[in-house]
């Protein structure tokens, strides 16, 4: 099974505008890679043939008088396939998450809910998103991951969220870690700084996608 690799561009200069388009183009080579660009780049990056694109966030609104919100209809028209929700850098109330997942489903878009604990994972899985992403906040941006420090926890969470697919994040930066999370029942990983801050993003993407 190919691992699913989700590349979160966050708000890095190295992944904005032309820089973001270059990284997205590298990712489009692989059918098992999803990119999460900044909102301002969604239109341009979604136009790249064969590329799967998620937004970093969406609000539980379709369209209308919602200044500052990201509407679901905007994503659909841009060709976006789904959205992250509740990243540790943009936490949401449970009620907001539930409403947003429901609206995404009704409009044919996928949802990925981020969580920081086993309890959260089990709670969010009841909403039946497409993916649950487990990211221990203390490891985000670090050089060690839960695959290194506590791989058994991945197995436990994978069982707790079934039939929802599990993604693992925080500190993932090597093919070895990708293989470990697959062995433990996850379907893929989410990465950011290990790709975006790399001197050679193309090389890192290739290594992870082919793990």
Catalytic, out of 57, 99, 120, 135: 135
Helix (H, G, I), strand (E, B), or coil: what is residue 14?
helix
Partners of 115 in the β-ladder: 134
User: Is 57 tagged catalytic?
Assistant: no
Q: Is 6 exposed, middle or buried (0-12, 13-18, 19+ CB in 10 A)?
A: buried
DSSP H helical ranges for 52-174: 72-78, 94-106, 118-125, 146-149, 151-161
The answer to whether the beta carbons of residues 160 and 122 sit under 8 Å apart is yes
Helix (H, G, I), strand (E, B), or coil: what is residue 143?
coil
Catalytic, out of 57, 87, 177, 180: 87
User: Is 18 tagged catalytic?
Assistant: no
Q: Is 33 exposed, middle or buried (0-12, 13-18, 19+ CB in 10 A)?
A: buried
The answer to whether the beta carbons of residues 20 and 45 sit under 8 Å apart is yes
Give the count of beta carbons closer than 10 Å to the beta carbon of residue 148: 16
Helix, strand, coil shares, percent, the chain, to 5: 40, 15, 40
Question: Which residues participate in catalysis according to the annotation?
Answer: 87, 135
């Amino acid at each position: 099974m190919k691992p699913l690799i989700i590349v979160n561009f966050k708000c890095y200069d190295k992944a904005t505008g032309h820089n973001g388009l270059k990284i997205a183009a590298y990712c489009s080579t692989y059918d098992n890679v999803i990119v999460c660009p900044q909102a301002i780049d969604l239109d341009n990056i979604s136009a790249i043939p064969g590329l799967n694109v998620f937004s970093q966030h969406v609000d539980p609104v379709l369209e209308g008088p919602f200044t500052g919100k990201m509407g679901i209809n905007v994503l659909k028209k841009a060709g976006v396939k789904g959205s992250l929700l509740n990243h540790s850098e943009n936490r949401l109330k449970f009620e907001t998450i539930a409403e947003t997942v429901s609206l995404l489903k009704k409009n044919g878009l996928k949802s990925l809910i981020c969580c920081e604990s086993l309890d959260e994972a089990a709670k969010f899985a009841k909403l039946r998103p497409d993916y649950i992403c487990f990211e221990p906040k203390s490891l985000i941006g670090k050089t060690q991951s839960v695959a290194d420090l506590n791989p058994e926890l991945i197995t436990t969470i994978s069982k707790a969220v079934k039939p929802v697919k599990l993604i693992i994040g925080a500190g993932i930066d090597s093919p070895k870690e990708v293989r470990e999370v697959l062995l433990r029942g996850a379907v893929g990983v989410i990465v950011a700084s290990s790709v975006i801050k790399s001197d050679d993003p193309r090389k890192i993407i290739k290594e992870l996608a082919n793990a």
